[in-house]
Structures are given as structure tokens and as C-alpha cells.
Amino acid sequence: MIDLHTHTFFSDGALVPSELVRRAQARGLTGVALTDHGDTSNIDFIIPRIVAVAEDLNRVLTGIRVVPGIELTHVPPALISEAAERSRSLGARMVLVHGETIAEPVAPDTNAAALDADVDVLAHPGLITPELAATAARRGILLEITARKGHSLTNGRVARLARDAGAEMVVNTDAHAPGDLIDAAFALSVVRGAGLSEADFHRMQHNAAAFL
């Protein structure tokens, strides 16, 4: 199991990065991305520290790989492309954008702006349209199926539109606390709950493995 969307205490998570990675490893994960919430006020603080700890952990740990990243969150659509470019320059290997979800008042057109930017994953994009799913397919940006509380309510819609458009997907936890981490068996249940198959789950894991 690989999880490309987690949060540490560098934003609103409960754990230091090392503990989050250790708990993920204990759950049987073989890869985890540290993707704290960021905008133009804090990415220059968060990303270098996540890059440094990822390098340290990857040097000494076996059986799990750590990917340094960021989740651009509630960034005004007009600033998303600039923020993504800046995140790359600071060393983020995984750039997510906090998508338009029914659980939070994300600005309209965030999904569209993210899909025009240099990002890897559009996180919990519950209000995505068929046209934007086609854009994700064309640009190779992964659409997220999530295990996260309210965000997961629209997994079925995301899965259907992604399949119709030929867009690739990934399953993530959006973990903020120890209890949010899941193992492969539960992740498979989340995928099946979205109307997808075990084969889809394995494809999602293949998609995630490319970042390790």
C-alpha cells in the first residue's frame, strides 16, 4: 500500500514526520508522501523541512520510501500555477491541489486551475465535471479516491467520471492523525465502495509507485 496524501504537524496533522512514517510502516505501507497544507505564505518554510526529513528517513529506513510534497490548499485559482512552480523549485516531488469538495468552501474553478498547472494529484475533486476529468486524462494528472471522512462522499462520482474519461486514479488517506492511516485491505474496501474493482485498486497502486 502506498499513500500519497498525508499531513504532519507542519500543518494540521498530529504527528512529527518520523512518527507518521513509522506508523505508516507499521500499517504495512511501502511508500508515503508527506504533503502538508500550504499556500504562498508557508511553502518556503514547510517544503525544505519535509525534503530534509525525507532524505534522512530514506537513508536509514528499509521497506518504506518517503516522498516530500505539498498540498496547495485554498490557494486562489489565479495563484495555483505559480504556487505549484514555486513548490517544485523548493524540492517538492509530489504536488497535490486541494480540490473542490462538498465538505469545504473551496473556491470555484480550483479544479480547473489545478489541472492547468504542474501538479501530480487533484485531491478529493468531488465537484469535478466530465470535461475536467477529460483534461486530467489528457494531462496525466491523477484523480484521488479518498478515505477521508466528508471528502469521501463523492468518491463514486469521481470514480465514474474518471473511468468515463480514461483518467488515472489513486487512493489516498489524507491522514491527519494516527487513526486515519489504513492498510491495503481497507484501501481496497474504499475503492470497491466507489464502485471500482480490485484490478482498479492495483492500477492505482501502480500509479502511486511511479513516485517512489
pLDDT digits (tens, 9 = 90+) for 89-138: 999 999 999 999 999 999 999 999 999 999 999 999 999 999 999 999 99
Tell me the β-bridge partners of 123: 98
Tell me the β-bridge partners of 121: 96, 142
Position 210 scores a pLDDT of: 97
CATH code for the domain defined by 2-209: 3.20.20.140
22 pLDDT tier (thresholds 50, 70, 90): very high
**Average pLDDT taken over every residue of the chain:** 98
Residue position matching grid coordinates 517512489: 212
Whether the model clears a pTM of 0.95, i.e. scores above it, the answer is yes
Task: Spell out the domain ranges in the chain.
Answer: 2-209
Q: For the segment 37-85, what is each residue's pLDDT rounded down to a tens digit? A: 999 999 999 999 999 999 999 999 999 999 999 999 999 999 999 999 9
Element (H, E) at 109: none
Closest to 125 in 3D by CA, of 94, 157, 93: 157
Contact 171, 147 (CB under 8 A): yes
The DSSP code for 154 is G
Cα(26)–Cα(138) distance, integer angstroms = 36
62 CB-side CA count, 13 A: 0
Position 83 scores a pLDDT of: 98
148 pLDDT tier (thresholds 50, 70, 90): very high
